Amino acid sequence: GSKRDYFTSRDTADSLITTISALGKDREKGKTFAIEPFKRNLIESITKDRDLVVMGYSGSDDFDISPLLKELTSVKRIIWIDHDSDSEIEDYYQYKPLEPSKLSMLTKLSKLDTMLLELASKSTIEVFKVNTNTINFVKGKLAKIFHVSFSNLKESISKTRKSFKQFMEKYHVKKSESFKYRLAHEIYRELGDIESAERTALAGKELAAKENNDINKVYFTSVLGLLSLNKGEMAKALDQFNETLELTNELNMGNEKIGVLINIGEHYRKKGNLKSAFKYILEASDLISEDTPDLLKYSIFNSLGALYRANGDIPNVTKYFKMALEIAEKMGDLFRKSLIYNNLAGVYFSQGRLDPALKYASEALKIDELLGDLDDMASNLNTIGNIYKIAGQYSKALNYLERAYNIAEKIKKSKVKSLAANSIGAIYFALGKLDLALRMYNEAYEIRKKLEDVSGQATSLNNIGLIYRARRDYKTANEMFNQSIEIAERIGEKTHLGVRYSNRASIFEATKDFEKALEGYKKALAIEKSQQNLHGVATQLMNIGGILGDLGRYEDCIKNYTKALNIMEELKIKPGIARALNNLGSVHYKFYRNFEKAISLLERSLEIYQNINDPQMMNLTRQNLAHIKQQYEIQKEKK
């Protein structure tokens, strides 16, 4: 993690692999330095039959290196250089293996000796320790081996070791108590220990009030609001943000005011109140100046992108997300770069453009795995799972979605868990497993109610309506669809509104009210066109085609199906292609008795359903094919 090679005075920032701040992030206790699966092959390859020298590490700090060393099974030997301030000392030790029962009896050894003895006892690695003055050892021993003088190395620290407490007393003794709690809060928050982060923030706020420290009072009030927001305690979060806003106005704190306006906007966005969310985010945007930190600019642009996405303004969505991406790249901030990649993936996904969506989501996932960021990893796994779901690759989709669900459950991210549960339910629905689908949809709905996620509740109601429609309980299904539409229109959310109008229209279709069904599908088509959602447009064209067929307008029916097929083929959405082919085949048989064309189209459709492993549609298409082929044979015999 060092940005400088102190032996050669060489700048090593460009080759820096990771930093202490990243090493402990979102890892399990005791796993801080553990090797991630994607790094394991590389690490094993470069350490095989090599000597590992550890120098400049105390073996006793908070970031424990021992789990990493215990995973290095292919290294030949480990040599630990243990620094001693005495320039005359140079002692060499080799650790001999001990039985586990004897190891547990050694209670008086130092942490370092215990770790090295465990390494020697657990594997075939030879383990040595050199107790010496590091600089003298480098100059006197290593210089001769490497034929380098290391003349630039100088003793720049006191011969007497200072403890961490002594160091802090010398350099930070004047810091306030609330400042110390601020540092503690940030450490706990970065490590994902939310309970301790909240405890230190509450204590810090009390201390800041006693000290009349306005800056820290604003800081702690704001972070407590964010903690409440992330836990889904919406009313409490808003109270804390409003308190922070009053403080920033009283103290004339410009940047802090921008930050809290963004937080209030995000609060309203999560509740589905887009009008209020826009009000606060745009107010924050109006306060931007040349001196505004890049991080605040990033947050404003990202929030505006999310808001425009929710109300369906696609040009502004991509504009603001790309503005945020430029700032993230300028800051060199991989976490935020990953977030924007995921947002852009969502935009392309909502338009049915699966290839660019998968590209951005996969790039985001690579960054998250590199950084060990479980929070964003869960979100990106969910996005990729949904892309594969739409592409009809249900096995791949379930794999990604179940990983997202398990991570979200582990790190207590209810929002992502609800998204994954909803998507898993959609796959079970597509596979005809209605009971499992309903269970997952209900789980997502209950989580969203607790989070006061109104937009999410609308999605869940719509999906639960699909289950009742499949069970032919049209009255209950219609009630669910109506509630979903009412919520979406009330909060001004257009992203999925077309689908919901379409679902309600399908109830009229099922009950033979074709004129009302046609009206509903046309409204859905207009919404999808306004959203530039090609997948949605193709779906509604197929729905309209079906109604036109029922009304006897066969040529118009075929035109709509053909347009839908062309779009689905352009988007490479296999389930949509199969459905369009299936519909066209049925029309050519039912209305024109064109057996050969119908059989050809249905066989192409069946091949795709087999490819994506959709058993429900495979069985239905086989039955239709068998019936048409039988009728074709009868027709030929008559001739």
CA 536 centroid distance within chain: 25
pLDDT value at residue 172: 60
More confident residue, 466 or 119: 466
CA angle 173, 178, 180 (to 5 degrees): 50
Average pLDDT for 123-150: 85
Burial of 35 (0-12, 13-18, 19+ CB in 10 A): middle
N-terminal to C-terminal alpha carbon distance within the chain: 84
Average pLDDT for 536-555: 95
Phi, psi of 515 (to 5 degrees): -65, -45
Average pLDDT for 101-118: 77
- Collect contacts of 89-93 with beta carbons under 8 A, ≥24 apart: 89/131, 89/132, 89/133, 90/130, 90/131, 90/132, 90/133, 90/136, 90/137, 91/130, 91/131, 91/132, 92/128, 92/129, 92/130, 92/131, 93/128, 93/129, 93/130, 93/131
Distance CA 411, CA 408 (A): 5
Please determine, for residue 168, whether its predicted confidence score (pLDDT) is greater than 70: no
Distance CA 130, CA 53 (A): 10
Distance CA 185, CA 220 (A): 9
Please determine, for residue 422, whether its predicted confidence score (pLDDT) is greater than 80: yes
> pLDDT digit string (tens) for 335-376?
889 889 989 998 888 778 899 999 999 999 988 887 777 878
Q: For the chain, what percent of residues have pLDDT higher than 70?
A: 87
Please determine, for residue 229, whether its predicted confidence score (pLDDT) is greater than 50: yes
3-state percent helix, strand, coil for the chain, nearest multiple of 5: 70, 5, 25
**With bands split at pLDDT 50, 70 and 90, how would you rate the model's confidence at 30?**
very low
Average pLDDT for 589-613: 92
pLDDT value at residue 32: 40
Highest mean pLDDT among 117-126, 153-162, 567-576 belongs to 567-576
Burial of 396 (0-12, 13-18, 19+ CB in 10 A): middle
Q: Which two tokens stand for residue 551?
A: 């009304």
Beta-strand relationship, 126-132 and 77-83: parallel
Highest mean pLDDT among 31-45, 104-118, 152-166 belongs to 104-118
Please determine, for residue 40, whether its predicted confidence score (pLDDT) is greater than 70: no
Average pLDDT for 218-228: 92
**With bands split at pLDDT 50, 70 and 90, how would you rate the model's confidence at 210?**
very high
Highest mean pLDDT among 108-122, 188-202, 414-428 belongs to 414-428
Q: Which two tokens stand for residue 517?
A: 């069904």
Measuring CA to CA, which residue among 81, 114, 75, 74 is closest to residue 98?
114
The answer to whether residues 503 and 532 touch, using CB atoms and an 8 Å cutoff, is no
CA angle 90, 96, 100 (to 5 degrees): 135
Average pLDDT for 130-151: 84
pLDDT value at residue 157: 53
Give the chain's length.
639
Q: Which two tokens stand for residue 53?
A: 């020298």
Average pLDDT for 551-565: 96
Please determine, for residue 601, whether its predicted confidence score (pLDDT) is greater than 70: yes
Distance CA 305, CA 298 (A): 11
Please determine, for residue 213, whether its predicted confidence score (pLDDT) is greater than 70: yes
**With bands split at pLDDT 50, 70 and 90, how would you rate the model's confidence at 37?**
low
Domain spans, the chain: 4-172, 575-639
> pLDDT digit string (tens) for 318-334?
899 999 999 998 888 88
Please determine, for residue 67, whether its predicted confidence score (pLDDT) is greater than 60: yes
Assign 3-class secondary structure to 141-167: HHHHHHCCCCCCCCCCCCCCCCCHHHH
pLDDT value at residue 270: 79
pLDDT value at residue 517: 96
User: pTM for the full model?
Assistant: 0.53
pLDDT value at residue 158: 56
Measured from the Cβ of residue 465, the count of other Cβ atoms closer than 10 Å reads: 27
Please determine, for residue 455, whether its predicted confidence score (pLDDT) is greater than 60: yes
Please determine, for residue 285, whether its predicted confidence score (pLDDT) is greater than 50: yes
pLDDT value at residue 13: 62
pLDDT value at residue 31: 46
